[in-house]
Amino acid sequence: MAKTLKKKARAKAIPPPPERAAKPQAVAPRRGKLERVRMPAGNTKAARSGASAASRAAIDSKDTHEGKYVYCIIKSERPLRFGPLGIGVEPADVHTVHFGDIAAVVSNTPMVVQDPTRDNVLAHQRVNETVMQQHTVIPMSFGTVFKTDDDITELLRSAYDAFSDVLNKMKEKFEFGLKVLWDRDQIIREIEDEDEDIRRLKSEISSQKGSTYFARMQYGRLIDAALQSRTERYVAEIFTSLRNVSVASRSNKPIGDRMIMNAAFLVSREMEQAFDSRVKEIGQQYEKLTFKYTGPWPPYNFVNIRLKLERA
């Protein structure tokens, strides 16, 4: 039975926050498993109570200098405020710092190294999620801090052409993540049932009393080749099915033995519903596969601006 969960949900190299499922939506009782999750809104109370003693000491210290935490870059000529959403024991007010028609979305922060705790990462993601509802964003890496507004203005000035180019290319586009998993043991049993040579080898191994080393080696090679072939077929079919409802795609390395596909798709705003529907259709077609579907995200996998930043 297909299962669909609504979601509330990387700057580069930031893992998405832990997935939290909302109420399941009714889906026709067909095959496959499909799970879509969104970023949690964040728990302000937990964020306040979970602050480390070191962070509290840094905030309370009179010697602590205040800097600017940068969440993302957007296109905007006028000053904007997004409210108390930012990183901090007390969620910091989020606003913009400008150069020409582009701006950095920032909040005040102590000049300390921000630990990538769950609350901090969620706050970083929450700001990007909020901003991207109305703006195209270039997400910055977690923990990007500048000393002053002038330093941020200099960043925007020096990388203006690169930022503007990416903002134009990413306009009205989001990223969606799709992970596909299977039960490896179940797939192996299917392969054994379908492949006569593998089935014969398994029988020989089970019946022999002496050494079965060479038979087991051959059996292992055949199983690995069959698993690889089936993986490639499934992945190719899924990518092909999603090609005409996405702008671009990227294949990342699968994580663990159960995952066979770890992909990101760049989708235009106008095609979001079509992409969503297509993923659901695919999820119902493959009864042996489980789909984990996340988004929309800022285009983490499709932005590659390398900045030379000097450590303060």
Number of separate domains in the chain: 2
CA trace torsion 183, 185, 187, 191 (10° rounding): 180
What CATH number does residue 288 fall under? 3.30.70.600
Residue 11 has pLDDT above 50, yes or no: no
Q: Is the pTM of this model over 0.85?
A: no
Query: Distance between CA 94 and CA 85 in Å, rounded?
Result: 6
Q: Return the bridge partners of 249, or none.
A: 265
Range of the domain at 58: 44-171
Quick one: 159 and 268 in the same domain? no
Q: Is residue 200 part of a domain?
A: no
Q: In this structure, which long-range contacts are made by residues 78-81, counting pairs with CB atoms below 8 Å and at least 24 apart in sequence?
A: 80/105
Residue 265 has pLDDT above 70, yes or no: yes
Band (pLDDT 50/70/90 cuts) for residue 63 is very low
Residue 261 has pLDDT above 60, yes or no: yes
Residue 74 has pLDDT above 80, yes or no: yes
Quick one: 181 and 295 in the same domain? yes
Quick one: 74 and 138 in the same domain? yes
Q: Is residue 183 part of a domain?
A: yes
Quick one: 60 and 120 in the same domain? yes
Q: Is residue 27 part of a domain?
A: yes
Q: Is residue 225 part of a domain?
A: no
Q: Which of 111, 95, 100 is CA-nearest to residue 148?
A: 111
